């Protein structure tokens, strides 16, 4: 067995597991990713490593055929070798919340009732006691989502229908319905860790924090497409908590605060509800489901930071994401990555015109950075040249998509009046 620092699509399928290294003397616990069922993996394996429940890193291994040994012990030995520094000098765990404000969890969805059901089932296992759930059905074509919520989750989940298509519009409908002091957002294609809400709430203990984001890991790597997407960068932002604020720019992000993608992702984010409402909610002209293709989460992080709120990345707030698994999805995903980035930058200027001089000062370095790292720090071998070209085309298209989407939103708003 050997550890592997990089994911290789040729190794698919790769089983994803959750390894908890408890206090000295106790046996390691190995579970399937996103669940509580015991795991006995063979072959290629990617393991999240926790120290007494707290995520500290990942290890990859080839465990060989069935019956070749104890997989939990083998992965634990590998983790102690590869993550020795993290185990010897662990980051301070997130403090348990001293108060328990009401949290509204918003899940936007469209015609994916099976995925939504899995997500809602994982949400029901949260340790945090005070939360409500709002499902926003975005421009539905059928009653499948409404029927699912009513028949299986009607006592615990509120259903909201949003006719204007787009993820940001759906999120705005969720914010309008929210009763909680904190509003958390996730997607229907994730499985939620039992400590997710608790870790998000802990991040808001500091009153200067207006937004908390969390760790997103792959729930499954069954296909080469899923491995390729994760190898390209996935959604993970690391295993150390980080704080971002406008008056303390991070030294490793010279384009800050425009590098909003480094701060988190929309499948795992939470805001003080009052902060979102003060900002006017999300820009409905960006996001999945609009001509802009994406960028709504990036814009929300950017606007929160430039309006003086701190953003905290909290890796203990963990969700498991089910990546797209079909090869034919790659082109759309690559173009969408680039388009969302281009649309976000256009929307940043449109929403915060005072930031235009700062953006222009960063344009030369930003262009170089975008060309070299379109979407993630991947080499051409990790992310084929065809997909890199699609991402760059998407970046050029993004501002056009945003303008088209603005016209659609304005027309819809006039029609409502």
**Domain boundary at 263, 293, 321, which?**
321
How many CA atoms within 13 Å lie on the side-chain side of 142? Answer: 8
Whole-number Å distance between alpha carbons of 171 and 169: 5
Cβ-in-10-Å burial (0-12, 13-18, 19+) of 13 comes to middle
Whole-number Å distance between alpha carbons of 302 and 162: 25
Q: Is the pLDDT of residue 234 over 90?
A: no
Average pLDDT over residues 231-256: 84
411 part of a folded domain: yes
Shared domain for 113 and 217, answered yes or no, is yes
2 part of a folded domain: no
Query: Which of these ranges, 1-5, 103-107, 403-407, has the smallest mean pLDDT?
Result: 1-5
The tens digit of pLDDT for each residue in 69-88 reads 899 999 999 999 999 998 88
Q: pLDDT higher for 58 or 381?
A: 58
Whole-number Å distance between alpha carbons of 325 and 330: 9
Instruction: Summarize the chain as % helix, strand, coil (round to 5).
Output: 40, 25, 40
* Confidence (pLDDT) at 5: 44
Average pLDDT over residues 267-282: 97
Query: Which of these ranges, 24-28, 90-94, 285-289, 297-301, has the smallest mean pLDDT?
Result: 90-94
Shared domain for 301 and 360, answered yes or no, is no
**Domain boundary at 55, 88, 121, which?**
88
Query: Which of these ranges, 66-70, 141-145, 175-179, 204-208, has the smallest mean pLDDT?
Result: 66-70
1 part of a folded domain: no
288 part of a folded domain: yes
Shared domain for 316 and 370, answered yes or no, is no
* Confidence (pLDDT) at 245: 94
* Confidence (pLDDT) at 377: 39
Q: How confident is the model at residue 367 (pLDDT cuts 50, 70, 90)?
A: low
Whole-number Å distance between alpha carbons of 217 and 59: 13
Shared domain for 23 and 158, answered yes or no, is no
Q: How confident is the model at residue 26 (pLDDT cuts 50, 70, 90)?
A: confident
- Mean pLDDT (the chain) is 89
Q: Which of 81, 87, 152 is nearest to 113 (CA)?
A: 152
Q: Is the pLDDT of residue 381 over 60?
A: no
Shared domain for 36 and 166, answered yes or no, is no
Q: How confident is the model at residue 370 (pLDDT cuts 50, 70, 90)?
A: very low
Shared domain for 21 and 129, answered yes or no, is no
* Confidence (pLDDT) at 288: 94
Q: How confident is the model at residue 22 (pLDDT cuts 50, 70, 90)?
A: confident
C-beta separation of 313 from 214 below 8 A: yes
Residues 6 or more apart whose Cβ sits within 8 Å of residue 410: none
Shared domain for 270 and 251, answered yes or no, is yes
Q: Is the pLDDT of residue 344 over 90?
A: yes
Query: Which of these ranges, 21-25, 186-190, 330-334, has the smallest mean pLDDT?
Result: 21-25
Shared domain for 394 and 307, answered yes or no, is no
Query: Which of these ranges, 32-46, 110-124, 125-139, 371-385, has the smallest mean pLDDT?
Result: 371-385
Whole-number Å distance between alpha carbons of 319 and 347: 28
4 part of a folded domain: no
DSSP H or E segment with residue 230: helix 224-231
Question: Which residue segment(s) compose the domain that 134 sits in?
Answer: 103-321
The tens digit of pLDDT for each residue in 286-321 reads 999 999 999 999 999 999 999 999 999 999 999 999
Give me the CATH number covering residue 196. 3.90.550.10
| Token output for 368 | 């170089």
C-beta separation of 362 from 255 below 8 A: yes
Shared domain for 15 and 111, answered yes or no, is no
3 part of a folded domain: no
The tens digit of pLDDT for each residue in 113-128 reads 999 999 999 999 999 9
Shared domain for 228 and 258, answered yes or no, is yes
Task: Provide the number of structural domains found in the chain.
Answer: 3
Shared domain for 154 and 290, answered yes or no, is yes
**Domain boundary at 64, 88, 112, which?**
88
* Confidence (pLDDT) at 393: 95
Q: Is the pLDDT of residue 260 over 90?
A: no
DSSP string, 312-369: EEEEEEEEEE-----TTHHHHHHHHHHHHHHHHHHHHHHH-GGGHHHHHHHHHHHHHH
Q: Where are the alpha helices (DSSP H) in 58-210?
A: 71-82, 84-88, 113-123, 144-152, 167-177, 196-203
40 part of a folded domain: yes
Shared domain for 350 and 412, answered yes or no, is yes
96 part of a folded domain: no
Average pLDDT over residues 153-169: 96
Q: How many CB atoms lie within 10 A of CB 282?
A: 26
């Amino acid at each position: 067995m050997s550890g592997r620092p990089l994911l290789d699509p040729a190794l698919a399928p790769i089983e994803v597991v959750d390894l908890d290294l408890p206090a000295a003397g106790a046996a390691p616990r190995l579970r399937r990713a996103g669940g509580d069922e015991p795991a006995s993996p063979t072959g290629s394996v990617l393991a999240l490593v926790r120290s007494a429940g707290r995520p500290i890193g990942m290890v990859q291994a080839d465990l060989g055929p069935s019956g070749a040994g104890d997989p939990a012990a083998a992965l634990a030995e590998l983790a102690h070798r590869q993550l020795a520094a993290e185990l010897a000098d662990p980051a301070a765990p997130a403090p348990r919340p001293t108060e328990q404000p009401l949290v509204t969890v918003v899940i936007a969805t469209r015609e994916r009732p099976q995925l939504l059901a899995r997500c809602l089932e994982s949400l029901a296992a949260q340790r945090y006691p005070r939360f409500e759930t709002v499902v926003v059905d975005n421009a539905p074509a059928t009653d499948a989502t409404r029927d699912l919520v009513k028949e299986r989750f009607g006592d615990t989940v509120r259903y909201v229908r949003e006719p204007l298509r787009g993820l940001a519009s759906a999120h705005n409908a969720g914010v309008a319905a929210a009763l909680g002091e904190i509003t958390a957002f996730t997607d229907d294609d994730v499985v939620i860790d039992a400590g997710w809400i608790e870790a998000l709430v802990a991040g808001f203990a500091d009153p200067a924090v207006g937004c908390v984001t969390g760790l997103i890991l792959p729930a499954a790597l069954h296909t080469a497409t899923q491995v390729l997407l994760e190898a390209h960068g996935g959604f993970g932002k690391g295993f150390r908590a980080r704080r971002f604020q406008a008056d303390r720019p991070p030294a490793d992000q010279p384009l800050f605060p425009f590098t909003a993608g480094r701060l988190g992702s929309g499948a795992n984010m939470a805001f003080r509800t009052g902060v979102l409402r003060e900002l006017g909610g999300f820009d409905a002209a960006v996001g999945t489901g609009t001509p802009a293709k994406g960028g709504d989460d990036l814009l929300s992080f950017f606007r929160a930071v430039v309006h003086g709120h701190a953003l905290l990345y909290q890796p203990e707030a963990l969700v498991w994401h089910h990546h797209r698994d079909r090869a034919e999805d790659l082109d759309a995903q690559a173009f969408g990555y680039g388009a969302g980035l281009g649309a976000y930058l256009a929307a940043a200027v449109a929403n915060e015109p005072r930031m235009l001089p700062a953006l222009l000062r960063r344009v030369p370095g930003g262009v170089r950075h975008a060309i070299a790292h379109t979407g993630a720090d991947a080499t051409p071998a990790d992310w084929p040249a065809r997909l890199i070209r699609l991402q760059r085309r998407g970046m050029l298209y993004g501002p056009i998509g945003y303008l088209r989407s603005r016209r659609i939103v304005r027309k819809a708003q006039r029609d409502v009046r």
